[in-house]
Copies of this chain bind each other. A is one copy, B any other.
Amino acid sequence: MRSDFLEQIATLDVVCLAGGVGGAKLAEGLAQVVPPERLTVIVNTGDDFQHLGLTVCPDLDTVLYTLGGVANPETGWGRVGESWKTIKETDRLGGAAWFKLGDLDLATHLVRSQLLAEGQTLTAVTRHLCIHFDIQVQLLPMSDQPAPTMIASEEELLPFQIWFVRERWQPAVREVCLPQDVRATPQVMHALEYADIVVLAPSNPFVSIDPILHAYPIREMIMDLPRAVVAVSPIIGGKAVKGPAAKMMAELGMSASSKSVARYYGELIDGFIYDQQDAGQCDNLACSTLISDTLMVDAKSRVRLATELLQFALSIAE
């Protein structure tokens, strides 16, 4: 890495909008390049839910565990070195066991639920957890209000996690329903106000990035930003790296492609990064494009993609 690049990056404030796995990986890559006090990760809370009496925030936890170095690299969710004693007994006692809460993971939900019950905001609770996971980057929930995403299938309206985990995202999606009147936190607005670069992580555009943009006034603030907004495509070769993004695109009447993602973001973005497998697919877009290796298979590739992304963003901003 050129030292003048690092010097330049050190003067810029970077905000990354993230869902679960893909967002967490890119956020971790960015955290290796951007000084922690300059990096804010705003996470989707539309998939949060009340479960077994607890407040569970799957996307926040995936980013938390990834940045804290305790994520399970094999599953993409939960903690490494996990065990399942409590959830097995919960199952035996006739409780809901379709959402796999590990014994270590449970501690996060217990502490969060305790602090929320004491009247703390989700933002304050997340800061508390970051301190205990030794995370210096600013990790923010998009909102302190509940903002449950609902999935309208052909037959019924399903709470997000029921559709996503219990039904393994199999019911075809007719519409993603986001709640009205969700507001971003003051901390999120402050971060966006000072952001030089905004990154839309390679997360699901409909159920990870859209809920964040939908929290007022995040979309409006990003539209008005003077500098670079860069998205990374979650689609490679017509498929999602993980999860239902490609399947949803087909169900929502788009082709499952990076080009569709770029068009979906439209005027919101100034730059778009997509995978070399799809090289040429986005040649005619209105925004700048960068073709790269977007599959983040290890720590090294996360840092490489983050670095390329920041250089690309700087080139656009200049």
By a beta-carbon cutoff of 8 Å, the part of chain A in contact with chain B is: 50-55, 83, 85-87, 89-90, 92-96, 103-104, 106-117, 128-129, 131-132
In the complex formed, the residue of B with least CB distance to A132 is B93
A145 to nearest B CB, angstroms? 18
Q: Given contacts A53-B53, A83-B85, A85-B83, is CB(A95)–CB(B116) below 8 Å? A: no
**A132 CB contacts on chain B under 8 angstroms:** 92-94
- Among A90, A111, A115, which residue has the most Cβ atoms of chain B within 10 A? A111
Q: In whole angstroms, how far apart are the Cα atoms of A187 and B10 in the complex?
A: 68
A279 to nearest B CB, angstroms? 45
Q: In whole angstroms, how far apart are the Cα atoms of A116 and B107 in the complex?
A: 21
Q: In whole angstroms, how far apart are the Cα atoms of A54 and B117 in the complex?
A: 10
A86–B104 contact, CB under 8 A?
A: yes
Q: In whole angstroms, how far apart are the Cα atoms of A107 and B111 in the complex?
A: 16
Q: Given contacts A53-B54, A54-B53, is CB(A89)–CB(B107) below 8 Å? A: yes
In the complex formed, the residue of B with least CB distance to A51 is B114
A85–B111 contact, CB under 8 A?
A: no
* Interface CB pairs A-B, < 8 A, 29: A51-B114, A52-B111, A52-B113, A52-B114, A53-B53, A53-B54, A53-B109, A53-B112, A53-B113, A53-B116, A53-B117, A54-B110, A85-B85, A85-B104, A86-B86, A86-B104, A86-B106, A86-B110, A89-B103, A89-B104, A90-B107, A93-B107, A93-B132, A94-B128, A94-B132, A95-B111, A95-B114, A103-B103, A106-B106
